[in-house]
Chain A
Amino acid sequence: NAGVTQTPKFRILKIGQSMTLQCTQDMNHNYMYWYRQDPGMGLKLIYYSVGAGITDKGEVPNGYNVSRSTTEDFPLRLELAAPSQTSVYFCASSYHGQSEAFFGQGTRLTVV
C-alpha cells in the first residue's frame, strides 16, 4: 500500500532556483493538499485541490504554484526559491472533506 508518495525526500536549493515537489496518491482520493511545517510550528496549508482541474489557495500560497491534471498527482512548484521557503513540506489526500487526511513522508527543503 503506497498511499501518498512524495519526492524528493531532501533537497537543497540556491536562492532564485526553481523546483517541483512531486506528490502522488493511489487511493483515488478527490481531495489533495500541500502543507508546510516550520520548526516549532503546526502545519500551514499552502494550496489544495478538490479534484482534477480544480485548485485553490490556502493560508500561505505566496511563492508557490500547483496544478492538478490527474486525480493521482498534485505537484507543488517553487519558482524563485527564497530562504523563507526553507521548511518541511507535506502532501496529503482525503476521500472527502469530512474524512481524515493521509500524509506523505515529507520533503525537507533548504534554501541557501
Chain B
Amino acid sequence: DQQVKQNSPSLSVQEGRISILNCDYTNSMFDYFLWYKKYPAEGPTFLISISSIKDKNEDGRFTVFLNKSAKHLSLHIVPSQPGDSAVYFCAASVTGGTSYGKLTFGQGTILTVHP
C-alpha cells in the first residue's frame, strides 16, 4: 500500500521553462510534506517543505502547493536550470504523537532540464 505516489517517473523540460512535479498521498493523517532532491551517488538533500495549515510555500525559484482536499501537492521550479536535473522525492510525515519525524517517500521523479 503506497501512501505517497509520484506517478510520473520522469519529466523533461527546456531550460528557462517551468517544471511541475506532482505527488499524491492517501493517508489523511499526513500534515507535513517535504521535497528532496537527489543527485547520483549522493544522499537526498532537503529542498522545501509545507505544513498542512498552508497551501503554498515559496523559496526562491521553488514553490510547493498543497491541495488537502485532493490529497495532492506539487513542486514548481521557475525558471528551470540544467543544474536542477536530478531525482526529486516527495515525502510526508505525521508530526504529532509518536511519529517522530518518520518520512514516507514517493518513488521519485527524474527531472531533466535541457539547455
Q: Which residues of A contact B (CB under 8 A)?
A: 4, 31, 33, 35, 40-45, 48, 50, 56, 58, 90, 92, 94, 96-106
Contact = CB atoms under 8 A, between A and B. Distances in A.
Given A33-B102, A41-B107, 12 more contacts: A40-B108, A42-B89, A42-B91, A42-B106, A42-B108, A45-B102, A50-B100, A97-B93, A103-B43, A103-B45, A105-B41, A106-B41
Interface residues of B, number: 27
B99 A105 contact: no
A48 B95 contact: no
A94 B44 CA distance: 13
B44 A97 contact: no
18 contacts: A40-B9, A41-B108, A42-B4, A42-B6, A42-B106, A42-B108, A43-B103, A43-B105, A45-B102, A45-B103, A45-B104, A58-B102, A98-B32, A98-B101, A100-B49, A101-B46, A103-B36, A104-B43
